Structure 1
Amino acid sequence: MASEQADFSGLDRAAVLLLSLGEDQAAEIMRHLGPREVQRLGVAMSKLNRVSADQAHAVMREFREKIEQQTALGLGSNEFLRGALTKALGGERANSLIERILHGGESNGLENLKWLEPRAIAELIKLEHPQVVALVLANIEPEQAGEVLHFLTERQAGEAMLRLAALDGLQPSALRELNEVLEEQLSGDSQSVQVSSVGGPKVTAEILNRVETALSSSIMEHLRSQDEELATKVQDQMFVFDDLINVDDRSLQTMMREISSETLILALKGTNNALKEKFLSNMSKRASEMLRDDMEAKGPVKLSEVEGAQKEILQIASRLEAAGQIQLGSGGGEQLVG
């Protein structure tokens, strides 16, 4: 990536590309994206300002170079599809989508939930038994599940996450019944359920990593009050911002190419000196000096802004790890308190 794009995340570059293509071509591309991807791109496009001609040209040049590297259409298309979707969506979500595409499958009731807004999902399940809520949360993306929790009451969220953490499998007949109910509510066609293992401490931790600190702490307190051993298993699977100190330099550098300067400044304002130096030592001397100056000039910031920036970086880290681009190592560690 050219130096003039140093502050552009992958999402920013996609937004610049679409804006450069013009309305008609951008609209044609966005027709092939899911609602959540379109929403994220729309927000990124609306926030872009003062994009220079050199920056736009650099994005277009990178796009052209990547296209030119591809083989002729139709040759190795399955491998290309698998690789492209894995990079775009992460391993687990890509595998699910690839199987449906390559084997002619269609979305079932649980899969259709992934296309709904979090508020709509919460409305759909808020009167259901906590076990049902847990199962639904286990079958949507962790980021989406984290957003759904915000539209449930604190008690509902805590009870659902308790059951999710203890969930390590389900009888196919029970899952099929839930799927049929969801399909009926969503006016979908009946399809067979092809979901293997669901839930467990790891899935619970992935969701909690994506919610606000206050809600995450509240849910963890509820888990501990009900099952201390289970809560410990969840905590051991959680990857918090301080754990980035153990990430290897190459992985950290890959991450930093996806993180905007403003997000990094906010995130580092609320962490320890060792982790700050970890990030700064993986930057050029000039870039690290500029970042230090920017952090000093920023002055005091709200704790919620710091936590939000740190969550954003952790989401980038999780996505890159799922795509096999970085290694994060094992989770664990203490939650930040400010």
Structure 2
Amino acid sequence: MAAVALTTRQKAAVIVRLLLEENGDLRLSALDRDTQALLAQEMAGMELIDRVTRDAVVTEFCDLLDAVGLVFPGNLDGTLDILGAYLSDDTNDRLRRLAALAGKGDPWERIAALPIDKIVALAQQESTDVVALLLAKLPVSKASETFTALGAARGRQVALAMSMAGNVSETTLRRVGTVLLQAADALPRSALDSPVVDRVGAILNFTTAEIRDNVLDGLDADDLDFAGGVRKAIFTFAHIPGRIDPRDVPKVVRAVETTVLIRALVAPGEADAAAGEFLLANLPQRVAESLRDDMRDQGKLRPREIEEGMTAVVAAIRDLQASGEIQFVRPDEDAEAA
């Protein structure tokens, strides 16, 4: 029995039908809408396919796969998913915006991927109706953060407007998304590679306690919100018990020269002494006892030498955290408020 001649679309329908039988999780939604519609229409017009024809279609499909050397996405969004990590942020954003404006990408996917601070900035400058659509399309976590940032009065207005968002057509929704994407592209982008708050915190990490306290007192008087952000970004020797997992203590100790570590462990002051004791308590007993012996044998140190020891430990922890070898424990609400 000879195989029945089928069109290319009919062959595609046969392959999809077979894949659906084998794997019910086949994501046809990843296809564009026109392709999905054509596939459904083609399958709706087909009935029985004999085994010979089925096997011939499968063989042809497998032969085509074997002949493939490389596969390119065929669209800009897919291409940028591959190249995104190798392009500058500006180039990546501009190309994705151009794709959305040309109708070749979903603007809402790009909006949902924006940092939360940009989304909040958009929400604060757009009309209530537009913000209602924005919150309706965002992932719940980002929608919640954005809604909270709006404040009670504006939040009530947006919540009321969201009750009417269900009547918006797909064309209007896409147009609003495109406009928001253009607005997001127009927002100023910092030329710095890290937030200013984090940068100030990192600088203060390696200053003396006296300088750090004086700077923070001044920031408290001039800009309380900025000062609070800087305090959260700071990590000092005294923060070790609340931010370092006890299981990571051996890694920290191995990263610091023993003579330098001893200088930090003999630090006076309640908070610094507690940090030193935390490190010792989470080391193997033999190692901890050896360090305690070295501490007892240590002569009198100048405050500057102790400060240098604590700074070296903090620097080692920062390096381990940056390389991914350890993770900071998230501070609890009491610690953040302190």
TM-score by length of 2: 0.39
Normalization by structure 1: what TM-score? 0.39
Higher relative contact order (CA 8 A, sep 6+): 1
Q: Which has the larger radius of gyration?
A: 2
Which structure carries more helix by proportion?
2
